[in-house]
Structure 1
Amino acid sequence: MRIPALTAAVALFTSLTLSLAGGAAAAPAGHPGAHGNGGRFDRPYTGFAPPGTVLRRGSPRDAGLEAAPIEAFERQMAGWEDPAAGAGYLFPGATTLMAHDGVVVERSAGGYAVKYADGTTELPQDQWIPARTDTIYDLASLSKLFTSIVAMQQLEAGRIDLDTPVAHYIPEFAANGKADITVEQLLTHTSGFDADPVPSLWQGYSDIPSREKAILDAKPIHAPGTTYLYSDLNMLSMQLVLEKVTGRPLDTLVRDGITGPLHMTDTGYNPPAAELPRIAATEYQTSPARGMVWGQVHDENSWALGGVAGHAGVFSTADDLAVLAQTVLNGGTYAGHRILSQNSVRLMEQNFNQAFPGDSHGLGFELDQIWYMGGLSGPQSLGHTGYTGTSLVIDPQSRSFAILLSNRVHPSRTTPSTNPPRRAIGVALSQAMRVAAPGGGPLWFSGQPGGTTSTLTTGPLTATAPVAVDFSAFVNTESTDLLTLEDSTDGGATWQALPLNVTGEGAPAGSPTSLSGQSVRAWWHVHAQVPQQSGPLQIRWRYATDPVYEGRGVDLARLSVTSCGHPVPGAGQLAPTGAWQQVAPGSR
């Protein structure tokens, strides 16, 4: 059973109130709240949120959002936490949080933070520990974001430079062909390193100094700058650079530069034993023989470095991560404490990997990854995932973020992918934000799951002259999930796609026969000319998704079918199949 904190306007919100807003229950003067873009997904923001924005509790309605998609997501989560779901069971427990325009509109927990004694055996039921909204999770690779923020701080301080070879700061790093690898390449995973140290640090070396030397001695498998390959060695190397140029260990740099100023009191490496009842357990490990890993970092290489590593090791709560996410949206500041300049945040949002399509990356943050960002994906959307079942997505265009923390490796890492709930939380938050038809009026919406098709079909049309079709479309889909306009002259037995003329911000050029994409959050005007037909004519809008990823969906408005400038009889008799639903003005 999930424990929602915000299914209504009243919520148990003690720790969030204390940690996020210093005890303040109301928004400060100038806070955007429901007065920002009014929960409108089709009115993307530019620039940062007002620097005084602090998080506050509220219902979806308080932020101008629809509650139904959020409530549907919470029901989905309950299934993913239920062993009775069979293959649909993804993790013992999880905590989720969504926020828009400074309002935390969803914060809930379900399942269990601790449930198993070993790799297969459950603890006695009276020893199970439920997941809570303040449960502390092993963030796994979300730790890389903390290392990256420290790197940006040292960049601001002039201690490092993006274009400078790492060997300038640590001469030993030049070994095995690494003399030309730069700081930027570490932060964007274009250094040429293999994915992991081989052998692993815990297996091949006897102590921390020898493990650090192994990092410095690592040999690339590609020439620097020629390939994108996500690698833990990048942030392990970055850690050594940061520690060298500052003379301080990474955990101190994170505490003094990030968690301390932002009052993220539940965030750090090697959490204190006193917090164990609040910490989610991870894997039962036999190699190395660690037993049930609970309160220590799950990642073996981080564990071999004493729990403090550039790639893994940070523990945190959804509440603390919410503060960090809002800090990014605010341009590097929160509650009067600035940890980054606005320029540094812009660099984290800038795609440095344009040479590697599909692998967009800012400095430290991944960008525009629909495979886990779902409907919040876009060119500016920042985020990261973690192996333990964690994810963070920050969407500057809607000033929103979504957090999913789980212990999917408890008691074993051989579990199904956590990507469906990662995407689902982004889809739910994006669908909770409204769009409005240009000029007002009702619209048709389809936000269907993957591997399905929906159609919206006119009745039989009678026209003696060529027919023109005009409509407005708001399209937020994976590139392979297509909206097409089709005609039929044989009673719907066969259909042909019509060439489209599309105008508006970011509209596709030429005469496409389908529409898709997430790069532009704008309404397009679409026009198509139907050749003169001898038989009975029908028109339909067809939206088809493949089984892989989904965006927010498709909205249609101001549908018009005319001949010689006059409405064609039968055009208004629309028959929907699948997920198409008509939405009244102002309700989405």
Structure 2
Amino acid sequence: MPSSYPLPEAGLAESGFAQKPLDHLDSLIKAHIEEGRYAGAQIALARHGKLALFRTYGDARTEATRVPAANDTLFLLFSQTKVLTSAAVWTLVEEGKLSFMDRVADHLPEFAARGKADITLEQVMTHQGGFPSSNVTQDAWADHALMRAQVCDFSLEWTPGTRLQYHGRAAHLVQAMVIEAVTGQDYREVIRQRVIEPLGLGQDVYVGVPEDQQSRCADTMGHEPHDNTAAFRSAGLPHGGGFATARGVAAFYQMLGHAGRLGGVRLFSPRLIAYVSRNHTGESPDLNMTGIPMHRGLGPHVRGESDRIRGLGTIGAPSVFGHGGVGSSYSWADPSSGVSFSYLTNFVSPDPWHTLRLDRVANLVHAAID
């Protein structure tokens, strides 16, 4: 593995983890693979700036020729990509080039069309923008002028700010176009230059996978056929096109859980991280998440104290925050303990099984924290 990875290794006991719950987690993932739930997986667990566990399971590819997954295998992040895109927005806020309270149309004048003139960046980032079903065409993946035109033409489905409904694609397409308008650069390069590379994760996290690295990508099953194409991997769609190793994502969440700092790198201020990772939507039910109050931040969502929560673990501390990828993965940070965790798989599993397994996976990690 590349030597630039920022986290030194440490043992589980040294890092303050109990062994037994993690043995149960290992057995659970192996059982899932034996049952055919998914072909391959990766997990990574870190604490206080050190990598305590990194493990790869099963196969990266099963079609034609079987290819075992390896520690450098890149898994499709799906919506975990959203936090990387939002992080690029955060960098622009900390430079004074954006405010969360800016209207999107302040930076994309054409966005004002179809009644969208007063929508703020904060409303978009908390999934309250009013256009949850909007998307761009495949032709726009490599043509960002077309992407901008299609994003600005999104149509409202309800009055902005009146509901909480997950914008699975639309919110982060808007953020990407704002990033490009403000910087004059491709949003993928902005994410790489401002977020990924400063953390030493250039070989572990990609939003837009270069051609010479695509052989590392695991095939994803159970979703769209284009997920495994070179065009999709190169596109780096801002809402769901990132690829990474679990150790890369765990390191990113180490930075988030340690108030914007990873080792000697101060990527964000503590106040910025506190703001984006707090609950901005209260107990409002998310209409796309079977009414679960998702406690949306400006990128991740937070555990809070509700009985029902998705992906972050029922027994997780209220301050735990993170994000998942459709039917496949979840990663999070626990600022109260200094722990970060990433769980990636290469199959999109349906509910209710998916949500139930996520709770078990997360709870086993929480149970291991001393």
Is the shorter-chain TM-score for this pair beyond 0.5, marking a shared fold? yes
Say which is worse superposed, 204-213 or 342-351, in terms of deviation.
204-213
Distance change >3 Å, CA 110–CA 195, structure 1 → 2: same
- Partner residue, 1:554: none
Let me know the Cα RMSD of the aligned residues.
2.6
SS at match of 2:115: coil
Say which is worse superposed, 370-379 or 71-80, in terms of deviation.
370-379
Matches within 5 A, 1:303-322: 307-322=235-250
| Structure 1 position 354 matched with structure 2 position 306 | no
CA contact (8 A) 2:38 2:346 kept: yes
- Partner residue, 1:422: 358
CA contact (8 A) 1:19 1:320 kept: no
| Structure 1 position 192 matched with structure 2 position 130 | yes
| Structure 1 position 217 matched with structure 2 position 161 | no
SS at match of 1:418: helix
- Partner residue, 1:113: 60
Distance change >3 Å, CA 152–CA 367, structure 1 → 2: same
SS at match of 1:424: helix
Matches within 5 A, 1:276-425: 276-283=214-221, 290=226, 293-294=228-229, 297=232, 307-354=235-282, 356=284, 358-368=293-303, 370-375=309-314, 377-387=316-326, 389-409=328-348, 417-425=353-361
- Partner residue, 1:527: none
Give the deviation of 1:364 after TM superposition. 0.9
User: Which amino acid is 2:174 matched to?
Assistant: S
- Which structure shows the bigger proportion of residues in strand conformation? 1
Distance change >3 Å, CA 401–CA 417, structure 1 → 2: same
Say which of 250, 268, 274 aligns to 2:187.
250
Distance change >3 Å, CA 61–CA 206, structure 1 → 2: closer
Distance change >3 Å, CA 347–CA 363, structure 1 → 2: same
Q: Distance in 2 between matches of 1:152 and 1:352?
A: 16
Q: Distance in 1 between matches of 2:356 and 2:159?
A: 35
- Which structure shows the bigger proportion of residues in helix conformation? 2
User: Which amino acid is 2:239 matched to?
Assistant: H
- Partner residue, 1:161: 99
User: Which amino acid is 1:270 matched to?
Assistant: G
Say which of 157, 171, 177 aligns to 1:240.
177
CA contact (8 A) 2:191 2:207 kept: no
Say which of 130, 143, 147 aligns to 2:85.
147
Identity of aligned residues (%): 25
Give the deviation of 1:210 after TM superposition. 3.5
- Partner residue, 1:24: none
User: Which amino acid is 1:339 matched to?
Assistant: L
Q: Count residues in correspondence.
A: 357
Deviations along 1:77-132, one digit per CA (max 9) or x if unpaired, are 001112xx2xxx3211000112233443322111100002xxxxxx2xxx311112
Q: Distance in 2 between matches of 1:205 and 1:63?
A: 42
CA contact (8 A) 1:172 1:216 kept: yes
Instruction: Compute the TM-score of the two structures, normalised by the length of structure 1.
Output: 0.57
Q: List runs of 5+ in structure 2 lacking aligned partners.
A: 286-292
CA contact (8 A) 2:46 2:251 kept: no
- Partner residue, 2:207: 269
Say which of 58, 67, 72 aligns to 2:24.
72
CA contact (8 A) 2:250 2:331 kept: no
CA contact (8 A) 1:190 1:226 kept: yes
User: Which amino acid is 2:284 matched to?
Assistant: F
SS at match of 1:158: coil
Deviations along 1:266-308, one digit per CA (max 9) or x if unpaired, are 22233233334422012488x87x5x8155537xxxxxxx613
SS at match of 1:176: helix
Distance change >3 Å, CA 157–CA 167, structure 1 → 2: same
Q: Distance in 2 between matches of 1:342 and 1:62?
A: 27
Say which is worse superposed, 56-65 or 257-266, in terms of deviation.
56-65
Give the deviation of 1:212 after TM superposition. 2.8
Q: Distance in 1 between matches of 2:268 and 2:160?
A: 28
Give the deviation of 1:371 after TM superposition. 2.3
Distance change >3 Å, CA 414–CA 294, structure 1 → 2: farther
CA contact (8 A) 1:280 1:294 kept: no
Q: Distance in 2 between matches of 1:74 and 1:97?
A: 12
Q: Distance in 1 between matches of 2:140 and 2:260?
A: 40
User: Which amino acid is 2:33 matched to?
Assistant: E
